[in-house]
Structure 1
Amino acid sequence: MPLMPVLIDLLSRASHALGFETVDRFPRNHLHARTHWDRAYFDIASDLKPDAIERSLCASIDNTPSVFAHIANPTPAMQRTLLGVIDARLRRSCGAPTDLVTLLIDAYRSPYTIEARPGLRAAIDATEGLALHERVHAVLAFLGAMPAAFDVIEAQD
C-alpha cells in the first residue's frame, strides 16, 4: 500500500479531530442529522459537540436572521430563535417582518423540518396556494394568537 494516501488520511482525521475543519451538518446518529447548513455562511469547527453547534447556529440567526435561509431542516431551537427575532421586530413596530416569515414558510416545505410550535406546520400548510403576502399574514396571525408564543426558556443540559 502506498504511504502517501495513508498519511493524507491520517492528516485529515487529525485535522478534523482538532477542529481545523468546518462541518455542515450534525453527526449521522444525532436527532437532527437531517439538518445541514451552507459552510459559506457558518464557520462551525469540527470538534464542537452537537449542542455547541446548535447554540452557534442560533447565535448566528439571532445576529443575522437572513442566514436562516441557508439552513435545511432547521431544528426547533433554530426556528424559535427566528421566531424571537420576528417577535422583536413586531414589538418595535418595524413593520411586518415579511422576509423572515417567508424564510420560516420555506423551511416547512421539507417534511423533515421538525415543528417548533404545535400547529405551526398545519397553519403553514393551510395557506398553500395563497399569494405569498397572504401566507405571511396568516402565519403572523397564527403566531400572534398563541399565548406566550416566544417566551420560552430552554434548559441547558
Structure 2
Amino acid sequence: MPLLDTLAAGLAHLSRICGFDTIDGFPPGHPYASTRWNRAYFDIASDTKAEKIERILADAITNTPLVFAHISHPTPAMQRALIAVIEAVMRRGDPTALVTLLIAAYDAPHTIEAVPGLRRAIEDSRAGNPSMRAFAVLEFLGQMQAPFGVIDMIDQQRLPAP
C-alpha cells in the first residue's frame, strides 16, 4: 500500500507541475497568498505565473462582474476591475449589487485596500441599510476618481506584460 500512496503523490505532483491541475489560490509566500477563488468559476492551470493569475481574474471580473462574489480577499487589481465596472454601470443603471460585493469583500480583515480610505468609508457606513451603504461607498469613490487613475497606472506599469 505505501508504494501506491507514493505513486499517487508523485502523479499528483507531476500533474501540478505540468499544469493539468487547477488552483484556487496564489502560491505560498506570495503577497496575496490569502486570496482564494472558487475553481468552479475560474479554471486556472497550476503552472500559471502569479502575475498572470491576477490578470486572468481581473479580466474575468471585467467581463462578468458577479464572479467577484466567488473570490475571498481580492487583490487591489481585482477590486479596481470591479470599481471600473461599477463606474461603467453607474452611467446606465444601478450599481448597488456590485457595490454590495465590494463591501462584502471588506468584511474580511485580510483584504488589502485598492483605494486608500476605502476600508474606512465602508466601516463608517456600517450603521446604514445596504442601499445607504452602497451610496456612501459610491460617494467616496466619486471623490477619489482622480487618485484612482493614478494608482491604476502605477500598478499597470509594475506588472509585466502577458
Shift of 1:147: 3.6
Give the secondary-structure state (helix, strand or coil) at the position aligned to 2:42: coil
Percent identity over the alignment?
53
Map 1:97-136 to 2 at 5 A. Answer: 97-136=95-134
> Unaligned stretches of 5+ in structure 1?
none
* Structure 1 residue aligned with 2:84: 84
Shift of 1:146: 1.5
The structure 1 segments of at least 4 consecutive aligned residues displaced by more than 6 Å after TM superposition are: none
Q: How many residues align?
A: 155
* Structure 2 residue aligned with 1:137: 135
CA separation in 2, counterparts of 1:137 and 1:95? 14
CA separation in 2, counterparts of 1:7 and 1:135? 53
Give the secondary-structure state (helix, strand or coil) at the position aligned to 1:15: helix
CA separation in 1, counterparts of 2:62 and 2:120? 25
Shift of 1:133: 0.3
Shift of 1:87: 1.1
Partner amino acid for 1:17? I
Aligned-residue RMSD, C-alpha:
1.2
- For residues 65-111 of structure 1, give each alpha carbon's deviation from its aligned partner in whole angstroms, at most 9, with x where no partner exists: 00000000000000000011111122xx3222011100000000001
CA separation in 2, counterparts of 1:95 and 1:130? 22
CA separation in 2, counterparts of 1:111 and 1:135? 18
Map 1:63-82 to 2 at 5 A. Answer: 63-82=63-82
Structure 1 pair 140/149, CA: closer, same or farther in 2 (3 Å)?
farther
> Unaligned stretches of 5+ in structure 2?
none
Between structures 1 and 2, the one with greater helix share = 2
